[in-house]
Structure formats: C-alpha cells, structure tokens
C-alpha cells in the first residue's frame, strides 16, 4: 500500500507533509538523497543516474508509484525515465504538471489546445539545472499562450537550507528576487519551482510584494496525487510500512527534518 516520494534532500518533506495530510491512510516511503544534494548544479546525466538509482530503491521498498518531488529531477530526468527506463507495472510522476495546471486554471487532465490565461508575466524561481532545462516553459507551452516567463536560477539557497542556515537562505532569496525584478519589474505570478523553497515562502512573498500571487507546489501535488489514485487505485504498491530513508547521515538528517516539519522524524539509511 505504499507510495514513494523522492527528493534530492529535505525539500521534498514539504510535499510529503501535504500528501500525508491529504491521504492519511496511504503509507509513504520518503527517500532523500542528501549524500548527493544539491542536484541543481549537476549535469543532466548525473541527475538521471542518481534519480533512477533512488527510484529503484523505492520500488524495492514496495512502491509501485514514485513521485519525483524534486523539480530538478522532474526537469532533467523524468522524460528520459518515462521513455526508456520505468519497468512495466510501475509509474513515475513529476511535480511540474500539477503546478502548471493550477497556474493555467485547468481541470486535471484537460487536454484541449493551449489558450490565453490570466497570468501574463510569470517569474520562475528554481535551481540552475531546472532553469537551464527549460522544462517549465516547455510544459507551459502545451497549455497556455501569451505568457512571458522570466526564470531566476537561485544558486546557494538549497545548500543554505540543507545546512539549516536560514539567515543566509533569506538573504539569498531577497537578492534573487531583486535580480529577477531587474529583468521583470512587475510579475503578476511567481512559481516556487523547487521543493525547498516553500520553506522560504513568506520571504519570497514579502520580497515580491502582496500583488504577486505565489504558487508553491506541496498542496497542488497532494491534490493531484489524490485524484490520480482515485483513477488508478491499483498503483498503491504492496509496501505497508511508512519510512524515511536517506543516503546521508541519518542522525544529522533526522535532526534537520524534525526542525523543518516541527515533529519528530526519524530517518534510517537507504
């Protein structure tokens, strides 16, 4: 009965938390690849190899469905995995589509042609690898026309969050918002395209101003997953035990995770 949730590190806990609230009876197996984080500065091949290894580990833990709760992995590896790697009977889903569906105000699974939407100037904040993949712009183009996207690669923010240095993370977020506003002075929407950034959502909102609608993924992904499992109940895998797995140091990772989610989280070695 388990669903796997993968992230390069701790950021995906924002998605896990929202999914656990929305689907309290589904055991969730989380895997954070903290030994190799951050992914955002790695090459696409490297991200693909690390993501497939981690996803295999989640299949082995009894998950038939794995959510890549990592924009960088979704952007750089998901399409290649779906095209040639995912074994029969297993599914791997990413986190871009629910976000774009919300931004373009579409119903889940609406496959009609792209159309004009309310948001005209969208700021995308993401890791360097996500920004250079242009995956967000590609997915958006399937659904919306006339949307101007300005992307800001937010170097350093993930490392600061993984290190628990929230003062540095806040300073970096403010300087990345400044840099974005020099390129796009008046965005009407902003997308937090990295699972770590919801932990800094208030700082993004404050720096951008109240007129900017900030989209962050956790609840959107949870809603989309609930809808998917309604339509594909067989994709809840055979595993019965929730677990938190890490490739990093379980003690250190557990203590950071407990601090982020404000409840006791105990990781074991992946």
Residues that bind ligand DGL (CB under 6 A): 7-9, 11, 37-40, 70-72, 127, 130, 158, 194-196
Q: How far apart are the C-alpha atoms of 204 and 181, rounded to whole Å?
A: 12
The nearest distance, CB 194 to ligand DGL, in angstroms, is 4
Q: Which of 177, 194, 222, 243 is catalytic?
A: 194
Q: Of the two residues 1 and 261, which places its CB atom closer to ligand DGL in the complex? A: 261
Annotation marks residue 154 as catalytic? no
Least separation in angstroms between CB 216 and ligand DGL:
11
63 catalytic per annotation: no
Q: How far is the CB of 198 from ligand DGL (least distance, A)?
A: 10
Residues 69, 70, 126, 129: which is the catalytic one?
70
CA distance 184 to 219: 27
> Please, which residue, 95 or 236, has the CB nearer to ligand DGL?
95
How many Å apart are CA 219 and CA 197, to the nearest integer? 14
Q: How many CB atoms lie within 10 A of CB 165?
A: 14
Integer Cα distance of 261 and 43 in angstroms: 30
User: Which CB sits closer to ligand DGL, 6 or 228?
Assistant: 6
Instruction: State the burial class of residue 227 (Cβ atoms within 10 Å of its Cβ: 0-12, 13-18, 19+).
Output: middle
15 versus 20: smaller Cβ distance to ligand DGL: 15
Q: How far is CA 101 from CA 97, 142, 209, 230, in A?
A: 6, 11, 24, 18
**Which amino acids are annotated catalytic?**
70, 194
């Amino acid at each position: 009965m388990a669903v796997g949730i993968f992230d390069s590190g701790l950021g995906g806990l924002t998605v896990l938390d929202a999914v656990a609230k929305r689907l309290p009876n589904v055991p969730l197996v989380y895997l954070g690849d903290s030994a190799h984080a951050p992914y955002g500065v790695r090459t696409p091949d490297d991200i693909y190899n690390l993501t497939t290894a981690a996803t295999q580990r989640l299949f082995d833990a009894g998950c038939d469905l794995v959510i890549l709760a990592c924009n960088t992995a979704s952007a750089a590896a998901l399409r290649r995995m779906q095209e040639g790697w995912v074994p029969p009977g297993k599914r791997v889903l990413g986190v871009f589509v629910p976000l774009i569906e919300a931004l373009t105000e579409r119903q889940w699974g609406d496959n009609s042609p792209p159309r004009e939407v309310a948001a005209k100037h969208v700021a995308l904040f993401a890791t360097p690898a996500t920004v250079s993949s242009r995956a967000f712009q590609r997915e958006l183009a399937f659904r919306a026309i006339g949307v101007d996207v300005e992307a800001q690669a937010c170097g350093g923010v993930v490392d600061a969050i993984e290190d628990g240095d929230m003062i540095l993370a806040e300073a970096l977020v403010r300087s990345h918002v400044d840099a974005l506003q020099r390129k796009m002075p008046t965005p009407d929407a902003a997308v937090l395209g990295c699972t770590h950034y919801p932990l800094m959502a208030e700082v993004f909102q404050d720096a951008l101003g109240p007129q900017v609608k900030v989209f962050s993924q956790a609840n959107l992904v949870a809603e989309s997953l609930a809808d998917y499992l309604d339509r594909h109940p067989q994709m809840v895998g055979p595993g019965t035990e929730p677990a938190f797995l890490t490739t990093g140091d379980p003690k250190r990772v557990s203590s950071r995770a407990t601090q982020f989610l404000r409840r006791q989280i105990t990781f074991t070695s992946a």
